[in-house]
Amino acid sequence: MSSVPQVLIVDDDPMTGMIFCEILAGMGSIHVTTSGASALQFVAGHQIDLVLLDIMMPEMDGFATCRALLRDYPDIPVVFVTAANDPDSEIQALGVGGHDVINKPVNPPVVRARVALHLKFAAERGALKRAEQSILALNAGLEQQVAQRTAALAAEIAERKYMETALRDNHELLSLFVQHSPIYAYIKEVTAQESRVLIASENFQGMVGVPGSKMVGKAMGELFPDEVAAKISADDWAVASSGQPLRLDEDFNGRHYTTLKFPIIQGERKLLAGYTIDVTERNQAEAVQRAYLAERARAEERESLLHDMHDGFASQLATAYLRNEHSPLTRRETSTLLRECLDDFYLVVDTLGEDEKSLNEAIADYRYRCDNRLSSLAVQVDWEIELSGCPPIGQRITLNILRILQEALNNAINHAQAQHIRIAVLFHPDGRLRITVADDGVGIAAIPKPGRGLPNMQKRARNIGMRLAFTRLEPGTIVSLSQAPNQVTSACCAQESVL
């Protein structure tokens, strides 16, 4: 029985349930259901101490409900509530397992007194049942303990002999393991003043000139130089007193070692175990590997720089040279070529020359150079740059983005003869990077004709996993570079072609 009595009222008339709730107010937690089936379902999920059950109910009457209830919960007391007021109904109610019968109309004080009495009986029955279960469990436990103790006493002598033998064998096995370990292994007894060897591997001969078997019982000052011995003893005490392991990288006699020390608890003794590995050759190999990787990275960077220079102004110079061999370049063509070569040279140097330069900084540098170059031309260039939250994207991607932007701007000025150009470089909160160059020039065909500039822009966009699109306007063109593979640039009355 819970600390607060749980009473269930089962009556198909909700008004009767409310009346009983008022009568029993303050006697516990009162619950109401309106059918036998709902009562059985409620009892299955709750601990009920007393049921007040109406006899006359549709579908499943009180007698059937009582039989079903007591079949699964025989310890719950059931008090029938009936308006029949005849001996046969009361006899039948008590016959199906009811503990009492209350006749309607009810007398509230009598109902409260009977419910209090049955709750008291239920509490006493619960206490008796719990006491009985405790006694039975105690008896069973005592019998089990006696049997276990008897068996333990019978086997104690044999077990003790077995354990003594096993302990000797294990101690010998541990000694053999430590002595013949391929790495330096040891166990010490540690105090605040000194550390003494209890067992050590034989290969210490190669480190300190003394085999492990002859190190037993010796303090650190007897095995190492004073300064080294003092540090070892201090580290040992720090591990043993704090209970925390310690990893050390040390140099001794021109060799490099990695040591792991950890505490061992054995009663009041403070013990310490440790392993030391000679990592000299490994460190040398890692140093060689690091030097190799660094040199390879430098070589790859030099190769990339040469490749970018070859694809940029070197390619332009080679093309110009071939054209000039066929037909000499005009002064204006030569000036344009040199300016484009310088622009590309600045892009490569500025982008690859600083490891930590962000896209925002690279765009700012490029804008500065463009503004200086375009200040003497009758072209208005508006910039919108919003790259807040843009993560680092790497030098190579930055360089390709700037080259695509440079090519789009050159096309707008040199070929489209634009008077007004708008450049937007935006990083959206959803993680998309979008760059657009819009001009009011003569425009391009719906599908641009192949040439050196546009295919290069297409190739660069593919290489960095971005999407390049051209949108024809009336007048002008929008060139857009976007990270979203399915994003379609749209404009009023626009027709798009994607490279």
* Contacts by 461-469, CB closer than 8 A, 24 or more apart: 461/400, 461/404, 461/499, 463/400, 464/396, 464/397, 464/400, 464/401, 466/401, 466/433, 467/498, 468/404, 468/498, 468/499, 469/496, 469/497, 469/498, 469/499
Q: Is the pLDDT assigned to residue 383 strictly greater than 60? A: yes
Beta-bridged to residue 423, according to DSSP, are: 383, 437
DSSP character for 202?
Answer: G
Q: Are 195 and 236 in contact (CB under 8 A)?
A: yes
Q: Is the pLDDT assigned to residue 247 strictly greater than 70? A: yes
Computed over every residue of the chain, the mean pLDDT equals 83
Can you give the pLDDT at residue 246? 93
Q: Which of 145, 141, 164, 143 is nearest to 153 (CA)?
A: 145
Higher pLDDT, 101 or 122: 101
* Contacts by 412-417, CB closer than 8 A, 24 or more apart: 412/437, 412/439, 412/441, 412/477, 413/374, 413/377, 413/379, 414/336, 415/441, 416/441, 416/442, 416/443, 416/444, 416/476, 416/477, 417/441, 417/442
Q: Is the pLDDT assigned to residue 485 strictly greater than 50? A: no
Q: Is the pLDDT assigned to residue 275 strictly greater than 80? A: yes
Q: Are 274 and 233 in contact (CB under 8 A)?
A: no
- Tell me how far CA of residue 71 lies from CA of 34, 56, 64, 66, 67, in angstroms: 20, 20, 11, 8, 6
Can you give the pLDDT at residue 152? 86
Class of domain 180-278: alpha beta
Q: Which of 493, 487, 477, 348 is nearest to 428 (CA)?
A: 487
Q: Are 92 and 72 in contact (CB under 8 A)?
A: no
Beta-bridged to residue 79, according to DSSP, are: 52, 100
Q: What's the whole-number mean pLDDT along residues 259-281? A: 88
pLDDT in tens, 299-357: 766 666 666 665 566 656 666 666 677 778 787 777 777 777 777 777 676 666 666 67
Euclidean distance between CA atoms 56 and 117, whole angstroms? 25
Give the H or E element holding residue 257.
Answer: strand 255-266
Higher pLDDT, 358 or 308: 358
Class of domain 6-130: alpha beta
Class of domain 358-499: alpha beta
| Angle formed at CA 400 by CA 333 and CA 426, multiple of 5 degrees | 110
Q: Compute how many other C-beta atoms are within 10 angstroms of the C-beta atom of residue 4.
A: 9
Q: What's the whole-number mean pLDDT along residues 255-284? A: 89
Can you give the pLDDT at residue 140? 87
Over its C-alpha atoms, the chain yields an Rg (Å, rounded) of 47
Q: Is the pLDDT assigned to residue 150 strictly greater than 90? A: no
Beta-bridged to residue 31, according to DSSP, are: 8
Domain locations in the chain as residue ranges: 6-130, 180-278, 284-353, 358-499
Higher pLDDT, 449 or 17: 17
Predicted TM-score (pTM) of this structure: 0.39
Q: Which two tokens stand for residue 130?
A: 């719990």
- Tell me how far CA of residue 409 lies from CA of 436, 439, 463, 477, in angstroms: 10, 9, 20, 11
Euclidean distance between CA atoms 275 and 238, whole angstroms? 16
